[in-house]
Every structure is written in C-alpha cells, then in structure tokens.
Amino acid sequence: MEKKLSEDERKVIEQCGTEPRFSSDLLKEDREGVFTCKKCGNELFSSGTKYESGSGWPSFWDAENDAVEKKKDNSHGMERTEVVCKECGGHLGHVFDDGPDPTGKRYCINGIALEFEADNE
C-alpha cells in the first residue's frame, strides 16, 4: 500500500531528487531494526548493515535480498548507479564501490525516502 508523500518526499522519491547533506535524523539512528521504503513500506536495509560513511546521508554496505534494483544514471555529467525500491520504483539514492567489507559497497541513501522500524517496538 503506497503512502501519501509530502512535497519534499515526492521530489526525492518520485523525481530523483536529493535531500540536503546531514539533514536526515536517520543519520544518528543506531537502534536495531529495519529501514523501509517511505512510499510503499518494502523492507530495504537492516540496521546491521548501516555505517557512518561521513557522506552526510545514511549509508549501508548491503541491501536486503531482492529489495532494490540498480539502474545506470548518467545525469549530472557523471556515471553512477541509481538505487530504487524494487516494489514501487521509488528513487532511494546511489550505490558506490567505496564502502567497507564485506561487500565494498556504499549505498548512499536519502533519509527522506526511508522510515525506520525498531525491533521490539
């Protein structure tokens, strides 16, 4: 079930926007739980894969199995890999090859595109 999005959420999730660096409260989220898609609720990232990348956006070294799709993104004069929710196609952010072990990936995700569900709440 898709949720009603605010104007700022729509700009990021539906129009491939980017939230300002260091603007997400989820940067400081360190409880155990799961990060879900703000638009459809699909489980995207486990708290166990979250780490501090220093980029200004919530970062993860892996996504949940089959939760996201990757697409080539040649916007802004560079080649990147866009990450979208596999369920609703909502834009989440990008993935880079400069992350930590064990995957070497940095899923750099807009916090505005996520919701956090803590375990045992």
Catalytic residue among 16, 40, 85, 108: 108
Indicate if the pLDDT at residue 120 is higher than 70. yes
Rounded to an integer, the average pLDDT of 63-74 is 96
Is the CA virtual torsion 43, 47, 52, 53 positive or negative?
negative
pLDDT of residue 110: 98
Q: Is 108 a catalytic residue?
A: yes
pLDDT of residue 3: 82
Indicate if the pLDDT at residue 49 is higher than 70. yes
Pick the CATH number of 7-118 from 2.170.150.20, 3.40.50.1360, 2.60.40.10, 3.30.2350.10: 2.170.150.20
Q: Domain map of the chain by residue range?
A: 7-118
**Confidence class of residue 73 from pLDDT cuts 50, 70 and 90?**
very high
C-alpha to C-alpha distance for 46 and 35, rounded to whole angstroms:
6
